[in-house]
Amino acid sequence: MADSAVRSSVGLGPPLARASRKATGIKQTSVLKKEDASKRKAELEAAVKKKIEFERKALHIVEQLLEENITEEFLVECGKFITPAHYSDVVVERSIIKFCGYPLCQKKLGIVPKQKYKISTKTNKVYDITERKVSLKASFNVSVNF
């Protein structure tokens, strides 16, 4: 009895039991970690597949917005599925094919100025017109830029 008291006070007795409990706990937590990892991997794969599907749908909508005769209802409906980056792609691509950048406008762009800046002699200011070259009217520029 005295020997066991000495062993426990020195730390020789119970630590062996604790070590075996810790090893069992490590095994259980490693199994849980593997299950969590596989669950997280499955969730991540599902999220990636969902994102790819949304990107495909957004690309299809962007291609449709490059056509003529876009209705306001269609544009509003498309707004649910595209991001501002997709919309800016629509604006730029419409201007490349010489359509007004605003999808509801049916007119074609005329002569596009090649300069990047415009100097106003009335206000003595220099304006960057790169954004304005993609649409016909100033009111469309507000719509194009959100």
Task: Say whether pLDDT at 99 is over 50.
Answer: yes
* Residue 3 within any structural domain of the chain: no
**Residue 5 is assigned to a structural domain of this protein:** no
Q: Report yes or no on 6 lying in a domain.
A: no
pLDDT in tens, 1-32: 455 555 545 555 555 555 555 555 555 666 66
Q: Which amino acid is at 98?
A: K
pLDDT at res. 127: 78
Residue 1 lies in a domain: no
The mean predicted confidence, pLDDT, of the chain is 76
User: Quick check: is 135 in a domain?
Assistant: yes
pLDDT tens per residue across span 35-69: 888 889 899 999 999 999 999 999 999 999 988 88
> Domain tally for the chain?
1
Alpha helices in 66-115 (DSSP H): 72-78, 84-96
Structural element, H or E, at residue 120 = strand 117-120
Give 117's pLDDT tier (boundaries 50, 70, 90): confident
Amino acid at 69: N
Range of the domain at 57: 13-144
